[in-house]
Structure 1
Amino acid sequence: MKRSTQTIRIGAVVAASALVLAACGGGSDSDGETASGSTSKGDGVLTIGSLLPQTGSLAFLGPPEFAGVDLAVKDINEAGGVLGKDVVHVRGDSGDTDSGIAPAETDKLLKAKSDVIIGAASSGVSLTVIDKIMSAGAIQFSPANTSTSFDEGDYSKPDLYFRTAPSDILQGAVLANLLIEEGRQNVAILARQDAYGETLATEISKNLEAAGSKIAAKVLYSEKTGPGDSQITEIKNAKADAVVLIAFEETTTVIPKLIQAGTGPQDVATYFVDGNTANYGKGDSASLPDGTLEGTKGTIPGADAGDAFKDRLKTVDPKLKDYSYSAESYDAVIVSALGAIAAKDDSGAAIAKEIPGVTKDGEKCTTFKDCAALLADGKDIDYNGVSGPIELGETGSPTAASIGIYEYDAKNKISPVDYISGTI
């Protein structure tokens, strides 16, 4: 049964300094400048490119993310569009890091004059195209990137990158807090060895150890081949009281291996993360035998978008079954459109300068139509979306967000049991 949203006592899990960032402006350093320093002006038509997974290890996320983009474009155009013209949507397939198709697909989206590219879902894929997108003067706006890499180094300063999903600092804290609340004192972590898996494994480990729990084992496996027998044995020999599996679609092959080793979900309390918290029942794109995951819990960034939003998503995709990151995809498009209206310009650099401002500190509004009307009246706005408060900071990441906690039933279907809010 779903409980009401709560606020996590993150201070009990990690040092407060690691989770408090100033919520200040973002975007480009000067009016009209791209990441490469050149100036540009939009062509008058806001073009949204979507670089989302139609194929690859995160293909299950593609339908809800594409549906979120499609619904946002539909709502915007029905409300009068942006700068007096309809928004145009161009689709691209991000694939995964193994297929390596994202750079070529990005070229296609840029050739189609995309001002904003929504995607990729995978942090690893985004890192292969982020420089290409920003150098072209376009915005990259991911609905699902959670790696801390986008808030560090060269990407820590205001630029053309944004995301509506919170970094793994928050998801790591929430999952660690869940483990602690459920009495897990000796935790094994099995994670894919990529930008996503390594970062999240580190954040979970750091938070658990800060609270006094032990890491029985932290095993990283090849994202291409999955864990080998020796790595499964290492998890088994750790004799942990909980196993955290940080994975993508390979979950359907990893879980049977853990079961065979006597350390599956019915032997040891098991926890998933957003990369693999999906439905695995009969009729889903990937499935496991009934009862395999019963009682397993997982985390997905995002607030409760509600049944009304899910019903509206089905008007653009009647076959939709999963909803992960659909709200974040929707909000990324809406925020971009509002940024263009505020800038009176559809170029990436101009939109980027306005994006943080339309997500905080102004008059609150929750729909594109209402927010656009306020902007037309010269008002400062604070768009609160279906994915949560958003409130983007100087690195382009949310400074306040929610993480949903989900539990599997006997049919390997997930349902939310709690939503935890926090600040970063």
Structure 2
Amino acid sequence: MSAFEKAKASRRLGFRSVLGGIAVVGVSALLLSACSAPAETEESAAAPAEDLTLKIGTALPQTGNLAYLGPPEEAGVEYATSLINAATADTGLTLDVTYGDSGDTDNKAYETEIPRLLGEGVSAVIGAASSGTSLQFIQTLVDADVIQFSPANTSDAFTTYDDDDLYWRTAPSDVLQGEVLGNLIAEDGNQTLGMIVLNDSYGTGLAKYVSDAFTAAGGEVVAQPTYNTGDTSFESQISEVLAADPDAIALITFEEVATILPGLLSSFPADKLYFVDGNLKNFGTDLPAGSLTGAKGTLPGLSIDTLTDFTGQLDTYLADAGKPALEDYSYAAESFDATTLLALASLAAGSTAADDIKAKLQEVSGGSGDGEKCTTYADCAAIILDGGTIDYDGISGPITFDEVGDPTEASIGIYQYGEDNNYVAYEG
């Protein structure tokens, strides 16, 4: 059996289709067992008992090795908030957001920001982007009985974390991205693979699933050097992976990729490089023209090319608000959906208490299986206030939470770099 045939065979658990650069995955069969089940909930009230002011915070990367994700994620939160508050007269719910910096595990901005957010009396915190960073403060939020809702965490560690049903995410587990990327590398005809890997829960977890899929497709991982957050020199990792002479190299990193690439591109063909969600970005003129032509990468969520309406609306909102234009849209949709779901769960509960909101999050996502489909905050809110149950399908996908706060339906976008060092949906 060829590598391509083996790669296709290994998809038997997850894939429904791969069309236009998007791997659409049904994930419930791949997720681990729940630690605990959410509390039973009563039917939604016909209207909130009184006007609600829901206070939430963000701990998104304004600094650190994922700082490039901060602007699109915060923009998603801001845009969703503007729509939620535009409907306050009809719904009675106002969203009050305090913005904060997660930083990373090197600068540890979260050590001061999380206490500051808790001091503001927030019911939920949106963030962090990095799985490793989220794991640094998840227990602090659990102990404070505050919801943590990440738009970008993908580590499988959260699926079984004992979080008292306070942790939720709109990004799928790395079990899925790893399977997609490992099979993509094999389908491209590569027999051997080297990886440079961030040594944290995100990097090592994703590397494991990429390796599992690639080896199941008949390939061999020949080198896998790691580095730590805060490292600034990567010569030894580059030398080790090049010495193994792999057919392809997967870069499972964050912003450090900008330092790694110059040393790698001088000795290795760009079209044999593979990126992941932690580093897939538009490099543009940061690199000489054509430096990344043919390189590929994966990113959870619907293809950017399918989100034209949303990104256009987001651009208009930012321009009207006098805010800088975005250079990247990664996880903007997931952040928008996280914000919207928190507001809808609060409205459905008729409460701003974290315990009441968490008890409604699975329901409003459609996880209870008996809600009416809706796709905007205003439409969903109207159903709730009429006494109905909703099934919110978001910008980032259907979401549909399981009992541990993981989405059970997800898409993994596959992208390819062009001569301008920017990425577009892969059409192969």
Q: TM-score range by the shorter chain?
A: 0.7 to 0.9
Partner SS state of residue 45, structure 1: strand
Q: Which residue of 1 aligns with 2:20?
A: none
| Contact 1:23-1:394 at 8 Å conserved across structures | no
Amino acid in structure 1 at the alignment position of 2:131: S
Question: CA offsets per residue over residues 201-227 of structure 1, 9 Å max, x none?
Answer: 011001111222111212212222156
Q: Which residue of 2 aligns with 1:358?
A: 364
Q: Which residue of 2 aligns with 1:377?
A: 386
Q: Which residue of 2 aligns with 1:400?
A: 409
Residue 81 to residue 175, structure 1, CA distance change in 2 (3 Å): farther
Question: CA offsets per residue over residues 54-104 of structure 1, 9 Å max, x none?
Answer: 111111101100100001001111122796142111100111111001121
Q: Which residue of 2 aligns with 1:410?
A: 419
Give how far 1:331 is off.
Answer: 0.2
Match of 1:255 among 247, 258, 261: 261
Partner SS state of residue 316, structure 1: helix
Amino acid in structure 1 at the alignment position of 2:55: T
Partner SS state of residue 386, structure 1: coil
Give how far 1:401 is off.
Answer: 0.3
2:281 paired with 1:278: yes
Partner SS state of residue 412, structure 2: strand
Q: Which residue of 2 aligns with 1:296?
A: 295
1:235-254 matches, within 5 Å, as: 235-254=241-260
Q: Which residue of 2 aligns with 1:129?
A: 137
Q: Which residue of 1 aligns with 2:102?
A: 94
| Contact 1:221-1:227 at 8 Å conserved across structures | no
Give how far 1:21 is off.
Answer: 4.2
- TM-score of the superposition, structure 2-length normalised? 0.86
Amino acid in structure 1 at the alignment position of 2:317: V
Question: CA offsets per residue over residues 111-132 of structure 1, 9 Å max, x none?
Answer: 1111111100011110111111
Give how far 1:397 is off.
Answer: 1.0
Give how far 1:233 is off.
Answer: 1.7
Q: Which residue of 1 aligns with 2:146?
A: 138
C-alpha distance in 1 between matches for 2:401 and 2:50? 23
Residue 127 to residue 109, structure 1, CA distance change in 2 (3 Å): same
C-alpha distance in 1 between matches for 2:50 and 2:194? 51
Which sits farther off after the overlay, 12-21 or 345-354? Answer: 12-21
Q: Which residue of 2 aligns with 1:110?
A: 118
| Contact 1:25-1:393 at 8 Å conserved across structures | no
Partner SS state of residue 277, structure 2: coil
Partner SS state of residue 87, structure 1: strand
Residue 324 to residue 418, structure 1, CA distance change in 2 (3 Å): farther
Question: CA offsets per residue over residues 249-301 of structure 1, 9 Å max, x none?
Answer: 111110111134x12526xx00000001001112xxxx222111111111111
Q: Which residue of 2 aligns with 1:225?
A: 231
Q: Which residue of 2 aligns with 1:36?
A: none
Match of 1:57 among 58, 65, 86: 65
C-alpha distance in 2 between matches for 1:54 and 1:133? 20
Question: CA offsets per residue over residues 353-404 of structure 1, 9 Å max, x none?
Answer: 1101111121111001111111112212110000001011111111110011
Identity of aligned residues (%): 43
Q: Which residue of 1 aligns with 2:317?
A: 316
| Contact 1:123-1:147 at 8 Å conserved across structures | yes
Q: Structure 1 residue runs of 4+, over 3 Å off?
A: 13-32, 41-44
Partner SS state of residue 200, structure 1: helix
What RMSD over aligned residues (CA atoms) do the two structures have, in Å?
A: 2.6
Question: CA offsets per residue over residues 307-338 of structure 1, 9 Å max, x none?
Answer: 11111112332311210000000000111111
| Contact 1:272-1:297 at 8 Å conserved across structures | yes
| Contact 2:41-2:360 at 8 Å conserved across structures | no
Give how far 1:345 is off.
Answer: 0.6
| Contact 1:27-1:396 at 8 Å conserved across structures | no
Residue 207 to residue 20, structure 1, CA distance change in 2 (3 Å): same
Partner SS state of residue 99, structure 1: coil
C-alpha distance in 1 between matches for 2:162 and 2:297? 32
